[in-house]
Amino acid sequence: MLLGRSLCTYNIHLRYVKSMEALHERINALNPARVMLLVDKDEHLIYVREFQNRHPTTEVCVRVVDTVEGGQPRDGAWHTKPKSPGDMREYICSPEDFLNRWGEFGKNGLILNVLNEPSGEEPPDVIDRLERWTLQVLKLATEREICIGVLNFATGHPHLYYRGDTKRWEWDARFDPILVYLSKNPQHELWLHEYLPNKGENTRVGRVRSMVNRCKSLGIEIPFVSITEFGWDNDITSGDGRSGYKSRGFNGAVYASDVCKAVREEYAELIEKGKLCMVAVFSYGRSSNDWESFDVETDYAFHVELQKSAPRSASIVAPPPIVVVSPTAVTQNPLVEQTLKFKESDKEIIDLVVALLKKIGVVTA
């Protein structure tokens, strides 16, 4: 990400946005380091590429929601064992099958969402299966040069332990192999969901700090982190069942201010170390009326305040190469990519960025 880009961004339900032109204008005004796009069909890769073409300096992360007709999304359970009688497969969807089907969403400047809210509070055999599946998909993605964001735990997951010797909360040690792999392979990232209310390393927003504590105990580099869902949700611990900021009567400006304040306070260390890649407010547009109280698309005051108050990146991290794809080429075949020639003005900007990266030692040749 480049210095000064907004770390706050949108979780966009791409095919349900009412006005794409308004969205593009807001992305230009916010200048986010990244966006999170949600699509629900494999063939929607074309629309993802069109968005990427429109915003070539913003990294694009993608979740493909695979849903059984009339049922719930299945992308939180790929690692689990099939339950149908006689089905002897190891997983509902093996790492190979997963990347064979959706790997294109993690190539050429895109980053692919892997799993969505798997439970981190399960019996040992289920946690072991989750850890094993995730490591397998990470290693296979490395071989295939696919960039992925893994786990996407829900608010309140995974299980934490309090260490008396260090007096701090830490992640479940069974996920250590994943943290170690991510620390050594920074093209892949740890993705999480965190929702207000409640803040702190052992609660909801800020729980990611328990992962940071675990990395410190292991003596490893903190992986790159994206909060792919963020905002206000229900709080079952206190019996407050209100979901979304609208259910609490917040106006958009107050909500955006709340979001930016929480990001600054709870993710300060990650921001300072250049390890926080984005915090994506859920949601922009909505794929279901279930998300109406979360949807910020038509909340003008929210967007104005977010543009004004969003925390910005504090360090310069060399991004993966971004390939701008010709919409014409994508229309003919979404898997055939065509790199466009840069305009002279683009080349000048690129030369300036490369010179700056060389100066600070990120690029040496």
The answer to whether position 43 is within a domain reads yes
Q: What is the residue type of 218? A: L
Domain count of the fold of the chain: 1
Helix ranges (H only) for 117-203 are: 124-144, 176-184
Range of the domain at 56: 8-360
Domain assignment present for 60: yes
Which helix (H) or strand (E) segment is 39 a member of? strand 34-39
Look at residue 5 and give its three-state secondary structure: coil
**The pLDDT value given to residue 331:** 37
* 255 and 302 Cβ atoms separated by less than 8 Å: yes
365 found inside a domain = no
Whole-prediction pTM value?
Answer: 0.85
User: ω into residue 197 within 30 of 0, thus cis?
Assistant: yes
97 is a domain residue = yes
Q: List the CATH number of the domain containing 342.
A: 3.20.20
| Residue 337: per-residue pLDDT | 33
Q: Is residue 2 part of a domain?
A: no
User: What are the per-10-residue average pLDDT scores of the chain (365 residues)?
Assistant: 83 98 97 97 97 97 86 85 89 96 98 96 92 98 98 94 94 97 98 92 92 98 98 82 92 97 96 96 95 98 97 62 41 34 47 52 50
Query: Can you give the pLDDT at residue 304?
Result: 97
Contact 26, 3 (CB under 8 A): no
